[in-house]
């Protein structure tokens, strides 16, 4: 039975579009799931002890290094033991939530989870789905084209560094219901969300069939 590592990064347990679209994926997924909710259980930011512990024999760890290393081993174990990945990540202030960046800093280790090339990563070719949610639009030709520092960064980390076979589902204009300046885009918001739910369910069903 395939194992899915599902990570939610939204700070909102309710009314989160990224969580809702991820739920549509989960409803169509029939395998095992390891779910890490970074709002309910935040991962601490990487510390000096966490970095230094990587180059020290565990028998020689200080108490602080041992604690940091234990957390990293837990997170890396979840990552390496999964067959597929679901990342639900909203855009905060034109980038990713700091909680998700903290998770990345804990698991992205050259020579262990990151190879010199994507093909050299131990995760190479494993399917990953990124649900990228943003309140506006940063598409070519929009007023804030080039302000999206979330999706390009995540593509670099997840596909180029970890070697994952990345599929991105974008949801945009989610703030059209609450921001007056975006009121003209409410229909666009609705269509974007509907399409994302359908795409997430279809993606999950396809991955289940691949592992059957």
CATH number at residue 26: 3.40.50.360
Quick check: is 58 in a domain?
no
Tokens standing for 53?
């512990």
* 77 within some domain: no
Q: pLDDT per residue over 98-150, tens digit each?
A: 999 999 999 999 999 999 999 999 999 999 999 999 999 999 999 999 999 99
Beta bridge partners, 49, equal: none
pLDDT tens digit sequence for 141-185: 999 999 999 999 999 999 999 999 999 999 999 999 999 999 999
Q: Retrieve residue 137's tokens.
A: 């639009």
How confident is the model over 14-71, as pLDDT tens digits? 899 999 999 999 999 999 999 999 999 999 999 999 999 999 999 999 999 999 999 9
Q: Is residue 158 domain-resident?
A: yes
Q: Which domain holds residue 202?
A: 3-45+83-211
Q: Give the chain's domain count.
A: 1
State residue 17's pLDDT score.
98
Q: Is residue 172 part of a domain?
A: yes
The tokens of 34 are what?
């390891």
Residue 140 lies in a domain: yes
pLDDT at 198 over 90: yes
Alpha carbons 128 and 2: distance in angstroms, whole number: 13
Rounded distance, CA 65 to CA 79, Å?
21
Q: Does the residue 78 lie in any domain? A: no
Residue 169 domain-assigned (yes or no):
yes
The pLDDT of residue 1 is 83
The partner residues of 128 in beta bridges, in order of sequence, read 85, 166
pLDDT at 212: 77
Provide mean pLDDT across the span 85-109.
98
d(CA 150, CA 30): 29
In a domain, 76, yes or no: no
State the pLDDT at residue 211. Answer: 85
């Amino acid at each position: 039975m395939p194992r899915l590592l599902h990570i939610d990064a939204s700070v909102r347990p309710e009314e989160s579009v990224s969580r809702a679209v991820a739920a549509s994926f989960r409803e169509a997924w029939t395998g095992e799931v390891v779910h890490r909710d970074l709002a309910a259980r935040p991962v601490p930011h990487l510390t000096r002890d966490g970095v230094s512990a990587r180059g020290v024999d565990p028998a020689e760890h200080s108490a602080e290094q041992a604690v940091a290393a234990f957390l990293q081993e837990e997170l890396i174990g979840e990552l390496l033991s999964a067959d597929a990945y679901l990342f639900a990540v909203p855009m905060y202030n034109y980038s990713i939530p700091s909680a998700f960046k903290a998770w990345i800093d804990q698991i992205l280790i050259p020579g262990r989870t990151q190879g010199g090339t994507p093909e050299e990563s131990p995760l190479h070719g494993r399917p990953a789905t990124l649900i990228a949610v943003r309140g506006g639009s940063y598409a070519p030709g929009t007023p804030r084209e080039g302000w999206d520092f979330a999706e390009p960064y995540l593509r670099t980390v997840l596909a180029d560094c970890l070697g994952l076979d990345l599929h991105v589902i974008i949801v945009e204009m989610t703030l059209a219901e609450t921001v007056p300046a975006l009121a003209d885009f409410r229909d666009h918001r609705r269509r974007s969300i509907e399409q994302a739910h359908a795409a997430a369910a279809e993606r999950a069903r396809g991955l289940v069939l691949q592992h059957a």
